[in-house]
């Protein structure tokens, strides 16, 4: 019957789009398919967002590129899946993506109930409030009765609820799924306050028609360690993701940048030699090429470079290093020794 | 004498209130005091609403300027469309490959227009559609004839909308027919299964199926097997559309007189032959107009994939609007998009009505 | 090709029919196979899911219902705070869905009927305007309409401090439409109950009046009496309670208006979008319903000297309703289902609350299942009602 034939044909076409990944270890699966699938935000400027030509950019995007550089020696061997807040964990659990680099906050319940492993933090954030100057508000304590724009289902929403409860204030949430829509709604004056991670507030403020009309209140009401996450079950892969993040931090500590990394190969410093794989060992332990850290720094850059390129003071976002400075500069970025 | 009167009468003009502009106005607008009142209220309302709208949309507006120029005007800033046209229509499709989705869309629309004539409804047309869909898919996906592969994650904008609705509809149709046959079946188990399926799907909103496809479905599959995001949404749309098609087809089956079944039985045709040769060809002909209606609603409903973060033409428009440069011109962009949808849907629905009339007289 | 003549069978005919040729047995076998495939497929998916959940140690079950939700909801019909449980949050969502659907259905029916009648008007202008309205609304996706209206609400209206104040006690700003309502008073509840009691009494009165007319031919103006009583009795109670006139007038305090009743932009945009979209379909249904009535019916009614009002009430409407009600119900159901798009513009309906719940608990399966069950419940209740109504109509038809 023609119908049946048609159906079979169409179905077989569809099957082309079904991918049967390697069952078993995530690392083997990633290696055999030849690229890494990373889940990213998709609409968060500075962290993960495509430009109009579809080229991805952002801190989280670069983290994913670093992982690809570590595994394949090629930072371009990565594909990005934009995910909503709602989809992100399922996408990781189901294996649709290999690693989630989507400004996710590490929490106890996410590690335990969702079966995720967060690795080292690639951005320390905290939740703040953005308000219009016209309101004349100086502190978050004065926000009683305010209407607040907030993203749904994130830790942000809970933090705000907790904060207002603790301070015995009332508020009215306006809950909108997409970051961009939310900012638009806030600027139009639908809410008095926009609450989100401080990094996002900076970004939102920067895109206002007149950024000077808005201020970020001094209170930071929560801790938001944003970290990449992988599934439970493959510790080796977890280690690789973890040390890819750490390698960028370590490189900054050692003063290695994408510009001077080739010279650094000739360095006599045993720490640098171990790090860049001129004296082998680290690569083998991770199951990677000895050049893995070199590839990350050469192709993506160290943490400082990545930070400045995507969110730093010279970008639209204009964020200071703050908590994200190296520990030597009073920040929290600290890498264990690479030996 | 009588002749003269007649001649004289013939020369008399009909009363002015029955012909010409005045006559038309009288019969259509001012026939009773009540009608006159309505007309006047309507005219006042139009006079109150249309000129300011016209002023906003055409007089004070800018059509092709920079975003900065738009800040200084009171009217519409249509410039948001030409400045972002490529992104709204094609989304993330790689640079330099634009001809592929455009060609695919032209092929599809061409075939839709070609299929309008009833004289062309033959077996060959079905094959033409099948070939066209395969060509479309190949054009979009690439990987042959030197066309680089374009991942479905990069399919976006209008091509995605069209693919979701047309592929969805074409796969859903046979499924819907089977469901309708199942629902009319005398076998209790089959009938129950089909009824439960149809009523369940029709009872829940499409968005819950899309949620299911986007966040639940991945957990249904064995470890290591994943299905493409676009395909998952397509599956949800297919499952949804099939239930509605089933009900439309069932209407057609029920309209078949008993005599048709009895005649087929008396010829010794078995079930599948009865359906294939006698019942379905007639029943499906009746249900073409409502089927176009289902296609229309599927086409409109594909906009819901916005909620599961697929970049259809509505989502690409919203992304454009999230660019700080162009934020604040939502009305203009949404009106443009509404026009786009309207042109397509209106063409389809008036076609469906015409067809209904033609098929009706042919009965 | 050669045709062999089969050797004449000596066996009795019944035995010659193998089971796959026996329609009855084949039917049973076919059904068993179908059931087997369906249950097999379900089992396969179920076991996969089980394995996946266990492997990734994802929590399952509805244990989260009793946990603290710890998120706020913008608008609620019942008292709710972030300290309440998920179950209560979900209830708030379900009530919000019912609220928007209920008001939407009433407004849609009114607007749809008006437009449908206008479409049939002999007035060219009225008919054309109605026609354009129908075409325009039907052919634009409802989600796009929602976004459009929401954008209009928040981009075009002023902030609370510059709120439009057309008449005293009514404010229009980007926080919504805020208006004064009477101060709560014990009289209001009694008035409400009285109103309901009159309606119930009116229904019985109408039935009795109808029976009397059937028997004696004398009509009884039950409708008018009920309307008068429904207006008069609550007013009487109001007067008896000392005619309280205190109004709860909204005023700008701090960031927002306090007091009065607020229609939020989210609710407003959702309601407007749903009502405009659905009423276009309802208008077509009403038009078709009225056109389905044979002209002869109307002429006959006039011939037996019924007044125009009576022609409408006794002849046209009862017959048109029989055609109108079934598709109308399915449109009402569509409106209810489309209200789930609230999630896109931030109105806290059931889907939006369930969505947040899914995000916070990570339990997608339970969340989506809840959404489906709730909407199925709405649909099934409606179809039960429809079946009852159809039977009722069939009895009237004789």
Which residue in the set B35, B215, B314 is minimally distant from C143, CB to CB? B314
**pLDDT of C115:** 94
Q: Decide if C68 contacts A109 (C-beta within 8 A).
A: no
Q: Decide if C259 contacts C177 (C-beta within 8 A).
A: no
**Closest-CA distance of chain A to residue C316, Å:** 46
Q: Decide if C268 contacts C153 (C-beta within 8 A).
A: yes
* Domain C-terminal end among B273, B288, B310: B310
Q: Which domain holds residue C323?
A: 86-161+265-397
- ∠ CA C359-C364-C367, nearest 5°, is 90
B227 interface with C at CB cutoff 8 Å: no
- A294 and A177 in one domain? no
- A235 and A195 in one domain? no
* CB-CB neighbours of C236 under 10 Å: 13
- Scanning A220-239 for CB atoms below 8 A from C yields 231-233
C120 interface with B at CB cutoff 8 Å: no
- ∠ CA A116-A120-A126, nearest 5°, is 90
How do residues A278-328 score in pLDDT, each as one tens digit?
888 888 889 899 999 999 999 999 999 999 999 888 887 788 888 899 999
Radius of gyration over every alpha carbon of chain A, rounded to an integer in angstroms? 22
Q: Which residues of A touch C355 (CB under 8 A)?
A: 86, 152-153
- B303 and B211 in one domain? yes
- A136 and A206 in one domain? yes
Residue C275 CA to residue A306 CA, distance in Å, equals 50
Q: Which residues of A touch B177 (CB under 8 A)?
A: 3
Residues ≥6 apart with Cβ < 8 Å to A95: A21, A29, A231, B218, B223, B224, B225, B226
Q: In this structure, what CATH number is given to the domain that contains residue A204? A: 3.40.190.10
- Scanning B83-122 for CB atoms below 8 A from C yields none
- B289 and B165 in one domain? yes
The reply to whether residue C254 touches residue A85, judged by beta carbons under 8 angstroms, is no
C35 interface with B at CB cutoff 8 Å: yes
Q: In this structure, what CATH number is given to the domain that contains residue B185? A: 1.10.3720.10
- Scanning C263-322 for CB atoms below 8 A from B yields none
ipTM of this predicted complex?
A: 0.86
The reply to whether residue C140 touches residue B341, judged by beta carbons under 8 angstroms, is yes
Domain assignment present for residue C72? The answer is no
Domain assignment present for residue B305? The answer is yes
For A217, the token pair is 């209140």
Residue B229, Ramachandran bin (φ over 0: left; ψ between -120 and 50: alpha; else beta): alpha
Q: Which residues of B touch C360 (CB under 8 A)?
A: none
The reply to whether residue C365 touches residue B216, judged by beta carbons under 8 angstroms, is yes
B149 interface with A at CB cutoff 8 Å: no
B208 interface with A at CB cutoff 8 Å: no
CA-nearest residue of chain B to A22?
A: B224
The reply to whether residue C56 touches residue A85, judged by beta carbons under 8 angstroms, is no
Q: What is the residue whose two structure tokens read 């179809």?
A: C383
Domain assignment present for residue C243? The answer is no
Q: Which of B89, B224, B284 to mutate to test the interface with A (most CBs of A within 10 A)?
A: B224
Which residue in the set C52, C126, C139 is minimally distant from B345, CB to CB? C139
Q: Which residues of B touch C344 (CB under 8 A)?
A: 306-307
The reply to whether residue C82 touches residue A190, judged by beta carbons under 8 angstroms, is no
Relative orientation angle of helices C86-119 and C364-397, to the nearest 10 degrees: 40
The reply to whether residue C375 touches residue B35, judged by beta carbons under 8 angstroms, is no
**Closest-CA distance of chain A to residue B316, Å:** 10
- B219 and B123 in one domain? no
Domain assignment present for residue C220? The answer is no
C371 interface with B at CB cutoff 8 Å: yes
Hey, which chains touch C, using 3+ CB pairs under 8 Å?
Answer: A, B
* Domain C-terminal end among A160, A194, A222: A222
Q: Which of A163, A172, A187, A192 to mutate to test the interface with C (most CBs of C within 10 A)?
A: A172
Strand spans (E) along chain C: 170-173, 176-179, 181-182, 247-248, 251-253, 256-258, 261-263
Q: Which residues of chain C have pLDDT under 50?
A: 1-2, 397-398
Q: What is the residue whose two structure tokens read 């309606």?
A: C199
Q: How many independent structural domains does chain B possess?
A: 3
The reply to whether residue C148 touches residue B338, judged by beta carbons under 8 angstroms, is yes
Q: Which residues of A touch B228 (CB under 8 A)?
A: 17-19
- A95 and A33 in one domain? yes
- Scanning C129-188 for CB atoms below 8 A from B yields 129, 135-136, 138-145, 147-148, 151-152, 155
Q: Is the pLDDT of residue A7 over 70?
A: no
- B191 and B55 in one domain? no
**pLDDT of B363:** 42
Q: In this structure, what CATH number is given to the domain that contains residue C360? A: 1.10.3720.10
B186 interface with C at CB cutoff 8 Å: yes
The reply to whether residue B226 touches residue A19, judged by beta carbons under 8 angstroms, is yes
**pLDDT of C314:** 82
**pLDDT of A292:** 93
**Closest-CA distance of chain B to residue A202, Å:** 14
A-to-B residue pairs, Cβ atoms closer than 8 angstroms: 121
Q: Is the pLDDT of residue A21 over 50?
A: no
Domain assignment present for residue C193? The answer is no
A93 interface with B at CB cutoff 8 Å: yes
The reply to whether residue C57 touches residue A154, judged by beta carbons under 8 angstroms, is no
Q: What is the residue whose two structure tokens read 């300290």?
A: C83
For C17, the token pair is 């029919």
**Closest-CA distance of chain A to residue B87, Å:** 6
The reply to whether residue B220 touches residue C45, judged by beta carbons under 8 angstroms, is yes
* Domain C-terminal end among B265, B288, B310: B310
A24 interface with C at CB cutoff 8 Å: no
**pLDDT of C398:** 42
C54 interface with B at CB cutoff 8 Å: no
Tell me how far CA of residue B238 lies from CA of A12, A161, B161, C365, in angstroms: 16, 40, 14, 21
How do residues A129-185 score in pLDDT, each as one tens digit?
999 888 888 888 888 888 899 887 678 888 898 899 899 988 888 888 777 778 888
**Where do the H-state alpha helices sit in chain A?**
2-15, 26-33, 59-72, 88-94, 108-113, 155-166, 179-187, 198-206, 235-254, 261-264, 270-276, 282-286, 292-299, 303-310
- Closest by Cα among C60, C90, C7 to C370: C90
Q: Which domain holds residue B27?
A: 2-70
The reply to whether residue C175 touches residue A110, judged by beta carbons under 8 angstroms, is no
The reply to whether residue C346 touches residue A188, judged by beta carbons under 8 angstroms, is no
Q: How many independent structural domains does chain C possess?
A: 1
Residue B160 CA to residue B234 CA, distance in Å, equals 10
Give the bridge partners for C164, in sequence order: C172
**Closest-CA distance of chain C to residue A158, Å:** 5
- A231 and A85 in one domain? yes
A141 interface with C at CB cutoff 8 Å: no
Domain assignment present for residue A51? The answer is yes
**Closest-CA distance of chain C to residue B298, Å:** 10
**pLDDT of B147:** 79
Q: Which residues of A touch C73 (CB under 8 A)?
A: 173
**Closest-CA distance of chain B to residue A18, Å:** 5
CA-nearest residue of chain B to A17?
A: B228
The reply to whether residue A20 touches residue B87, judged by beta carbons under 8 angstroms, is no
Class of residue A58 by CB neighbours under 10 A (exposed 0-12, middle 13-18, buried 19+): buried
Q: How many independent structural domains does chain A possess?
A: 2
**pLDDT of B112:** 86
Q: Which domain holds residue A154?
A: 127-222
Which residue in the set A17, A21, A188 is minimally distant from B224, CB to CB? A21
Domain assignment present for residue A140? The answer is yes
B133 interface with A at CB cutoff 8 Å: yes
Domain assignment present for residue A2? The answer is no
Which residue in the set A16, A43, A94 is minimally distant from B219, CB to CB? A94
- B303 and B167 in one domain? yes
Domain assignment present for residue C94? The answer is yes
Which residue in the set A113, A153, A175 is minimally distant from C58, CB to CB? A113
- B137 and B186 in one domain? no
- B300 and B184 in one domain? yes
Q: Which residues of chain B have pLDDT under 70?
A: 1-19, 223-224, 324, 360-363
B78-82, long-range: CB within 8 Å, 24+ apart, which pairs? B78/B332, B78/B336, B80/B320, B80/B321, B80/B326, B80/B329, B80/B332, B80/B333, B81/B332, B81/B333, B81/B336
- Closest by Cα among B117, B126, B111, B110 to B281: B126
- A118 and A55 in one domain? yes
Coil vs helix vs strand at C387: helix
């Amino acid at each position: 019957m023609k119908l049946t034939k048609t159906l079979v044909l169409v179905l077989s076409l569809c099957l082309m789009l079904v991918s049967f990944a390697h069952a078993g270890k995530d690392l083997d699966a990633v290696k055999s398919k030849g690229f890494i699938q990373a889940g990213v935000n998709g609409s968060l400027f500075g962290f993960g967002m495509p430009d109009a030509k579809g080229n991805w950019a952002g801190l989280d995007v670069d983290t994913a590129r670093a992982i690809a550089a570590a595994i394949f020696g090629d930072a371009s061997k990565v594909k990005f899946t934009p995910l909503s807040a709602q989809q992100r964990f399922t996408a990781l659990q189901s294996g649709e993506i290999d690693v989630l680099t989507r400004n996710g906050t590490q929490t106890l319940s996410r590690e335990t109930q969702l079966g995720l492993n967060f690795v080292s933090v690639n951005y320390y954030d905290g939740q703040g409030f953005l308000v219009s100057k016209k309101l004349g508000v100086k502190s978050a304590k004065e926000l009683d009765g305010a209407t607040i724009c907030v993203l749904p289902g994130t830790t942000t929403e809970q933090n705000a609820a907790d904060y207002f409860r603790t301070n015995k204030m009332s508020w009215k949430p306006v809950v909108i799924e997409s970051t961009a829509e939310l900012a638009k709604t806030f600027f139009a004056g639908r809410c008095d306050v926009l609450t989100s991670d401080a990094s996002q507030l900076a970004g939102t403020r920067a895109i206002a028609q007149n950024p000077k009309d808005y201020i970020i209140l001094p209170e930071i009401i929560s801790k938001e360690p944003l970290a990449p996450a992988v599934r439970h079950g493959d510790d080796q892969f977890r280690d690789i993701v973890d040390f890819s993040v750490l390698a960028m931090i370590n490189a900054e500590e050692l003063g290695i940048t994408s510009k001077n990394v080739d010279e650094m190969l000739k360095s006599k410093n045993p720490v640098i030699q171990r790090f860049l794989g001129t004296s082998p060992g680290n690569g083998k332990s991770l199951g990677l090429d000895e050049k893995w850290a070199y590839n990350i720094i050469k192709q993506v850059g160290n943490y400082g470079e990545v930070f400045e390129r995507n969110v730093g003071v010279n970008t639209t976002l204009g964020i200071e290093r703050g908590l994200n400075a190296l520990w030597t500069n009073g920040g929290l970025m600290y890498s264990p020794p690479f030996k | 004498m009588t002749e003269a009167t007649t001649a004289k009468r013939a020369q008399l003009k009909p009363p002015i209130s029955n012909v010409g502009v005045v006559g038309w106005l009288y019969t259509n607008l001012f026939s009773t005091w009540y009608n006159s009142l309505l007309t006047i209220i309507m005219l006042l309302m139009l006079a109150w609403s249309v000129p300011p709208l016209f002023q906003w949309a055409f007089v004070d507006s800018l059509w092709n300027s920079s975003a900065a120029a738009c800040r200084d005007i009171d009217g519409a800033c249509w410039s948001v469309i030409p400045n972002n046209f490529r992104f709204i229509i094609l989304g993330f499709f790689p640079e330099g490959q634009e001809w592929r989705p455009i060609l695919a869309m032209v092929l599809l629309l061409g075939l839709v227009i070609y299929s309008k004539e009833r004289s062309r409804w033959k077996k060959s047309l079905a094959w033409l559609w099948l070939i066209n869909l395969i060509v479309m898919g190949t054009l979009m996906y690439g990987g042959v004839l030197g066309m680089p592969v374009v991942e479905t994650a990069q399919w976006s904008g209008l091509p995605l909308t069209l693919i979701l609705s047309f592929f969805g509809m074409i796969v859903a149709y046979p499924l819907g027919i089977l469901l309708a046959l199942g629902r009319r079946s005398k076998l209790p188990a089959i009938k129950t299964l089909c009824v439960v399926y149809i009523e369940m799907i029709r009872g829940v909103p499409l968005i819950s199926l899309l949620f299911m496809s986007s966040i639940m479905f991945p957990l249904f599959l064995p470890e290591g097997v994943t299905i493409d995001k676009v395909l998952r949404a397509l599956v949800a749309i297919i499952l949804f559309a099939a239930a509605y098609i089933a009900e439309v087809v069932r209407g057609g089956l029920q309209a078949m007189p008993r005599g048709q079944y009895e005649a087929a039985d008396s010829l010794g045709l078995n079930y599948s032959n009865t359906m294939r040769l006698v019942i379905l060809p007639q029943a499906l002909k009746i249900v073409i107009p409502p089927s176009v209606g289902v296609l229309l609603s599927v086409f409109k409903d594909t906009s819901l994939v916005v909620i599961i973060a697929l970049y259809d033409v509505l989502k690409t428009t919203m992304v454009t609007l999230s660019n700080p440069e162009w934020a604040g011109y939502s009305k203009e962009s949404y009106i443009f998009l509404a026009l786009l949808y309207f042109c397509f849907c209106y063409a389809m629905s008036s076609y469906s009505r015409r067809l209904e009339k033609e098929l009706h007289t042919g009965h | 090709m050669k045709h062999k003549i089969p050797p004449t069978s000596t066996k009795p005919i019944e035995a010659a029919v193998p089971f796959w040729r026996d329609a009855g047995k084949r039917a049973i076998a076919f059904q068993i196979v179908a059931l087997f495939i369906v249950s097999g497929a379900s089992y396969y998916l179920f076991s996969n899911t089980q394995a996946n959940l266990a492997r990734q140690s994802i929590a399952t079950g509805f244990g989260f219902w009793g946990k603290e939700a710890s998120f706020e909801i913008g608008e609620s019909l019942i008292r709710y705070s972030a300290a309440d449980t998920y179950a209560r949050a979900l209830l708030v969502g379900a009530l919000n869905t019912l609220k928007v659907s209920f008001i939407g259905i009433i407004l849609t029916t009114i607007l749809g009927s008006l437009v449908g009648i206008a479409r049939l008007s002999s007035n060219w202008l009225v008919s054309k305007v109605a026609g354009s309205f129908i075409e325009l609304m039907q052919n634009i996706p409802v989600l796009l309409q929602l976004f459009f209206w929401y954008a209009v609400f928040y981009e075009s209206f002023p902030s609370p401090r510059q709120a439009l104040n057309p008449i005293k006690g009514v404010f229009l700003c980007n926080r919504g439409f805020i208006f004064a309502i009477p101060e709560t008073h014990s009289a209001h509840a009694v008035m409400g109950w009285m109103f309901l009691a009159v309606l119930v009494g009116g229904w019985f009165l109408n039935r009795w009046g109808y029976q009397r007319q059937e028997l004696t031919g004398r009509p009884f103006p039950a409708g008018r009496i009920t309307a008068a009583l429904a207006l008069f009795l609550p007013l009487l109670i109001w007067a008896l309670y000392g005619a309280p006139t205190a109004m709860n007038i909204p005023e700008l305090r701090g960031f927002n208006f306090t007091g009065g009743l607020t229609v939020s932009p989210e609710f407003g945009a959702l309601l407007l979008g749903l009502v405009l979209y659905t009423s276009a379909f309802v208008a077509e249904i009403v038009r078709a319903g009225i056109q389905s009535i044979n002209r002869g019916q109307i002429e006959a009614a006039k011939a037996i000297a019924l007044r125009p009002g009576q022609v409408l009430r006794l002849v046209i409407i009862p017959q048109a309703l029989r055609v109108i009600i079934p598709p109308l119900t399915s449109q009402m159901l569509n409106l209810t289902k489309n209200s789930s798009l609230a999630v896109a513009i931030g109105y806290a309906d059931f889907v939006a609350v369930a969505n947040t719940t899914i995000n916070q608990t990570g339990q997608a399966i339970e969340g989506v299942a809840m959404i489906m069950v709730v909407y199925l419940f709405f649909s099934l209740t409606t179809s039960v009602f429809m079946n009852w109504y159809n039977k009722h109509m069939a009895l009237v038809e004789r």
